[in-house]
Amino acid sequence: MTNANLPFNASQQQLALLRLVNWGLKIGLILFATDLFGLTTPPVILSYVLIFEACYVGFSYRFHRLSMNNNGLLFLTLLLDTLFWATWLYFTGGATNAFVSLLLLPIAISAITLPRWAPWCLTIVSTIFYTLMIVDITEQNSGSVMGHDMSQMPIDHIMQANQVMPASHSMDMGSHYLGMWFNFVISALVLTVTVGFIAKRIRQKNAELRYLREGQLRQEKILALGTASAQMAHQLATPLATLRLLTDELVDTHHDAEQLELITEMQQALNRCEVTLADLRLATESIREQKLAEQRVDQLVATLTEQISLLMPEAQLNISIAPQVESRIVLTDMSLLPALMALIQNGIQASEDNQHQTRVDVNIGLSQPKQLSITIRDYGVGIATHLLQTLGSNMVKSPKGMGIAVLLSHTSFERLGGKLYLKPHPECGTEAIVTLPLNEQKAS
């Protein structure tokens, strides 16, 4: 069963082969081991049932992939397995059949592979069938005893029968059948509860391991990106310093107004590059030394607004902050501000591409009593649905790039104990929701 929810790497093909083995076991016991195991000679109707079961086994083997990710269809096939086993057991001895415990096999499989409701349902069905077989064999025994005509038997035969089969014999057999019934019910309950619990724990462990593997792969990608960024920043420092000297010389040697305007724009671009490189150095040192600083939320918002005005003067940024969070404290490092700015820059670009305006709304409030929520909404065309689940967790191809900015931002928030969620806005655009833990104490 190739299902992400299953704890074991079983497959529907293996389950179909198991059905074939079960069918062959039924045929073999009828043909070669009826007397050996004390089975009842089956009637002709069982032959038709076995032929129908053979068609079912062949169909399940041929189309085993149909129920690969369908819990309902898998449960239906296990229910049919239970019905076929119950039918075979009924016609070959009923409750006294030595192989009656094979009714527990579908319960065990469902406890491992299906949700908790499935083994309980199969336990109820199997118990009903076994109860009916117990009742049937009890009635047969009592009927066979009552059916004898004692008046036609000689006196010595009646006395011998009473000596061989005392009056308490039927009562003892009834107690024996009741014990068999309790044994079956207890076995089914143990499988349902114990095996189901173990399977649930294994599913949880597999999910945790999968999450840890994904996190490790993401950290390896981040480390590679960080190393490449540090190398490029080091390589850009010298050219930027050279460009700064050249622009200063141009300012001193040119006095034409149009040229001075162009030189001013060049200086602004250089300022932005220099500020970004300086922030990158500070962020790298902060992350390496694992320094965390306490900062008021209103101060964080003021710094964010200042940086946006300096580095993205064309942005139409609308920031609203709830009064109850202004004085709250959040733990930050040098990577938090660039991570928020990267999301805002993506929003500005999306709004400009869609509506030719650089409008972005930022709402800051509380999502929980001790959790800060920062919602960044753009007015773009939105993100494709198949990218929402992976964007921020892995590098994905998109029309605008590989989603590296969102991946780095998500990693920065996670390091601070936060999360990043992306969801489409009902009207248009996308909402990036950032949650960060708040400190216990308010700022004085």
Write out pLDDT tens, residues 265-312: 888 888 878 877 777 777 666 666 667 788 899 999 998 888 888 778
Q: 396 pLDDT exceeds 60? A: no
Q: 165 pLDDT exceeds 60? A: no
Its sign, for the CA torsion 307, 309, 313, 316, is positive
pLDDT tier at 164 (50, 70, 90 boundaries)? very low
Token pair of 297, please? 């939320």
pLDDT for the residue 385: 66
Contacts of 331 (CB under 8 A, 6+ apart): 292, 293, 294, 295, 416, 417, 437, 439
CA distances from 404 to 89, 153, 344, 432 (A): 62, 97, 14, 15
The pTM score is 0.53
Q: 7 pLDDT exceeds 50? A: no
Largest Cα–Cα separation, the chain? 142
Looking at the chain, the whole-number percentage of residues with pLDDT higher than 70 is 75
pLDDT for the residue 375: 92
Q: 171 pLDDT exceeds 60? A: no
Token pair of 109, please? 């499989």
pLDDT tier at 3 (50, 70, 90 boundaries)? very low
Give the single-character DSSP code of 409.
H
pLDDT for the residue 155: 47
